[in-house]
């Protein structure tokens, strides 16, 4: 099977112009089929404030109102996505195409079911159209996804970018030997959050349970880890959590996930 690289860059990378440019230059130069998924960064919060759109939080979780959704669609699918595409296009080796889940019906989702909290316009992924994404790649294109999905009935949703990355990686495993990279500002999963070099280089499922029990992996890292193991359980060959320079410098210290 042909190899496919699926890379996700987090909001902190998007927010840092120098780090983003460096990542995009390296990513564009990778000479194999590839897909990029990008997070949003702090700009959505900044622009929402300027526009007078309030960001409601319940139990530390962000609620996506209609007005928040509009801001997120503008910035993620518009400003950030199209600037990333234009920059990748400046490399002769990366024919990037910017996409949301609505485009070509690539990712359908449903509104997250209301249990204790109504998250608003947040979508949980239902299906990734792997066949169409495969067609784009086979035709020489590099898909670049913002984390926006739709329900097929005219409604857009804000969706977790880590989950989109793992769902795309899983769906494309029918066509490719897929490696999934979660790239962010740190070097990997840290044993000590105050020590940037305390990278835990290998985490398998039993080690993961230990680290959770010890409280070393907590909060925002938990859903990311769930996405990683979910991908490994569904035929994704490799999953890495690494700094954004890792894509082109694979000897760098980072975290490798295994079952």
Sites of contact with a second copy (CB under 8 A): 47, 50-52, 70, 73-79, 81-83, 85-87, 89-90, 95-100, 102-105, 135, 139, 141, 148, 150, 152-156
Residue pair 242/248 in contact (Cβ under 8 Å)? The answer is no
Contact 190, 196 (CB under 8 A): yes
Cα-atom radius of gyration of the chain, to the nearest Å? 18
Q: Is 104 or 216 the residue whose CB approaches a second copy more closely?
A: 104
Q: How far apart are CA 105 and CA 114, in angstroms?
A: 25
Would strands 177-184 and 3-9 be described as parallel, antiparallel, or unpaired? parallel
Cβ at position 149, least distance to a second copy in Å: 10
Q: How far is the CB of 229 from a second copy (least distance, A)?
A: 31
CB of residue 210 vs a second copy: minimum separation in angstroms? 43
Sign of CA dihedral 173, 189, 246, 9: positive
Q: Which is nearer to a second copy, 67 or 185 (CB)?
A: 67
CB nearer to a second copy: pick between 30 and 141: 141
Q: Minimum Å distance from CB 244 to a second copy?
A: 18
Runs of H (alpha helix) within the chain: 11-15, 17-29, 43-50, 66-72, 81-89, 130-138, 161-172, 205-213, 221-233
C-beta of 139 vs 213, nearer to a second copy: 139
Q: Which is nearer to a second copy, 52 or 220 (CB)?
A: 52
Q: How far apart are CA 76 and CA 98, in angstroms?
A: 10
Nearest approach in angstroms of CB 14 to a second copy is: 14
Closest distance to a second copy from the beta carbon of 106 (Å) = 9
The residue count for the chain = 259
Beta carbon nearer to a second copy, 99 or 130: 99
Locate all alpha helices (DSSP H) within 173-220, ordered by sequence: 205-213
Closest CA to 110 of 53, 73, 77, 156: 156
């Amino acid at each position: 099977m042909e190899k496919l690289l699926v890379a996700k860059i987090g909001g902190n990378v998007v927010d840092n112009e120098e780090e983003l440019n460096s990542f995009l230059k390296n990513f564009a130069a990778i000479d194999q089929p590839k897909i990029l998924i990008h997070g949003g960064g702090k700009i959505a919060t900044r622009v929402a404030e300027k526009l007078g759109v309030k960001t409601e939080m319940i139990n530390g979780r962000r609620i996506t109102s209609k007005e928040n959704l509009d801001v997120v669609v503008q910035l993620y699918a518009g400003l950030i996505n199209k600037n990333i595409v234009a920059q990748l296009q400046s490399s002769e080796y990366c024919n990037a195409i910017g996409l949301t889940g609505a485009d070509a019906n690539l990712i359908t989702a449903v509104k997250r079911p209301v249990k204790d909290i109504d998250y608003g316009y947040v979508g949980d992924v239902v299906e990734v159209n792997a066949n169409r994404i495969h067609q784009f790649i086979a035709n020489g294109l590099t898909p670049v996804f913002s984390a926006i999905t739709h329900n097929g009935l005219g409604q857009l949703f804000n969706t977790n970018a880590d989950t989109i990355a793992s769902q795309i990686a899983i769906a494309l495993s029918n066509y490719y030997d897929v490696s999934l990279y979660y790239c962010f500002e740190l070097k990997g999963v840290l044993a000590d959050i105050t020590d940037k070099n305390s990278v835990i280089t290998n985490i398998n499922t039993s080690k993961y349970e230990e680290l959770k029990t010890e409280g070393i992996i907590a909060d925002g890292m938990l859903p990311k880890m769930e996405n990683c193991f979910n991908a490994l359980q569904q035929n994704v060959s490799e999953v890495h959590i690494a700094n954004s320079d890792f894509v082109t410098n694979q000897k760098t210290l980072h975290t490798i996930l295994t079952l």
